[in-house]
Copies of this chain bind each other. A is one copy, B any other.
Amino acid sequence: MGRKRLQESADGRPTVHTVAARAGVSIASASRVLNGVGGSPETVRKVREAAAEVGYVPNAIARSLQSQRTGLIALAVEDIGNPVYVEMMRAIEEVVAASGRQLLVHATGGQIANETALLRRLAHRYVDGMIVSPIRVTDDHLAALVDSPVPVVVIGQLGADAPVDNVRTDSRTGVCLAVDHLVAAGRRRIGFVNGPLDTVPGAARDAGFRAALAAHGIEVDERLVEVGDFQYAAGRAATERLLARARPDALVCANDLIAVGALHALLAAGHRVPSDVALVGMDDTELARMMFPQLSSVSLGSAERGRRAAELLLQRIADPTLPPRREQVPPSLAVRASSAAVPDVSPLFVPAPAAPPTPEVTA
């Protein structure tokens, strides 16, 4: 009796009270020492000792309640398995970690409901700020973004006058870069494997593809356009459908996962890349360089966008009165073997011998 068990927390772990009592000082002094502000040498020594003896570690939640900050930044992306988001994430991580905060990654699966639900959860103040890269945007989604209680930065296209910090690229122009490059290399039957048209990037890339062809006076052959989603399997399936009905001499893909699927489909169907069909992906992820042949790809500056978004967010957290800002990262094209001007990477694709040296298994 007496100390009324104010000494330690419910689960028996030491609190600042424990430390203070043990050091024979007030909790105020203990807290000050623990935070490194003030305290006489003697007090500092006693508190430090007491803290070490009981193994005190401050409760971050209580601290957050007091300081109104959690030190957490959330990142919501559609698909955590897409390497483009991995690169974005790494860039964001770097900036966020440098500011002494932690990154909380959340995959939305592209479901818009998920994302608004997430925003609502954030309204609960578990994070100091959020970066979100939505692929679909509706009005109430936008509304949720605008009056979010915590700062939000959006990576991706957003309505022109949305009062939200925004880092975007121009994937429409990005597709044009790819088409220009292919046309310059003499390709004419250029196909396009896109993601869903009801997504923001899907729509922009479709528009870019058509505009680019038009600019070169090439009419769009709808049999050369196919849609799946932004995944590998869908890209492969879409390419197979496309190849079943048309004969492109080049393929632009709406992202690298699709491009890898397309490469697989092309090779499996006996087409050579790039001599029969040139291939250009988009996002310029590590995956493009991992393929054989390495894939040309339109860089949309994902790491750069991530970095800038993180910086914007940190600035807004520091000063919430800032006017909404918008930054743009230009696309660029990385030309690699899959669309190289030279007809083929022939020495690498060694032909199988006409007669296999080992007995055939079937037949």
Chain A residues in the interface with B (C-beta under 8 A): 10-11, 13, 57-62, 64-65, 68, 70, 72, 80-81, 83, 86-87, 89-90, 93, 102-107, 120-121, 123-126, 149, 232, 260-261, 263-264, 267-268, 270-272, 275, 286, 290, 292, 341-353, 356-358, 360-362
The answer to whether B347 and A81 touch across the interface, beta carbons within 8 angstroms, is no
The answer to whether A80 and B90 touch across the interface, beta carbons within 8 angstroms, is yes
Distance (whole angstroms) from the CB of A272 to the closest CB of chain B: 6
The answer to whether B86 and A81 touch across the interface, beta carbons within 8 angstroms, is yes
Within the complex, which residue of B107, B124, B232, B290 is in contact with A60, where a contact is CB–CB below 8 Å? B124
Closest to A346 in B: B352
The answer to whether A59 and B346 touch across the interface, beta carbons within 8 angstroms, is no
Chain B residues near A11: list those with CB within 8 A.
68
Chain B residues near A264: list those with CB within 8 A.
290, 292
Chain B residues near A57: list those with CB within 8 A.
120, 123-124, 149
Chain B residues near A123: list those with CB within 8 A.
57
The answer to whether A267 and B286 touch across the interface, beta carbons within 8 angstroms, is no
Oligomeric state, in copies: 2
Chain B residues near A104: list those with CB within 8 A.
72, 102, 104-105
Beyond contacts A62-B65, A270-B348, A275-B356: 13 other A-B pairs, Cβ-Cβ < 8 A, are: A11-B68, A57-B120, A58-B124, A59-B125, A61-B61, A61-B64, A103-B105, A103-B106, A105-B105, A268-B292, A270-B347, A344-B352, A344-B356
The answer to whether B107 and A93 touch across the interface, beta carbons within 8 angstroms, is yes
Closest to A320 in B: B11
Chain B residues near A342: list those with CB within 8 A.
360-362
Q: Which 6 A-B pairs have the closest CB atoms?
A: A351-B351, A346-B352, A60-B124, A105-B105, A343-B358, A81-B86
Closest to A347 in B: B270
The answer to whether A272 and B126 touch across the interface, beta carbons within 8 angstroms, is no
The answer to whether A149 and B268 touch across the interface, beta carbons within 8 angstroms, is no
Distance (whole angstroms) from the CB of A349 to the closest CB of chain B: 6
Instruction: State A272–B348 Cα separation when bound (angstroms).
Output: 9
Chain B residues near A72: list those with CB within 8 A.
104, 126
Instruction: State A210–B74 Cα separation when bound (angstroms).
Output: 45
Instruction: State A14–B272 Cα separation when bound (angstroms).
Output: 64
Chain B residues near A356: list those with CB within 8 A.
275, 343-344, 346
Distance (whole angstroms) from the CB of A240 to the closest CB of chain B: 14
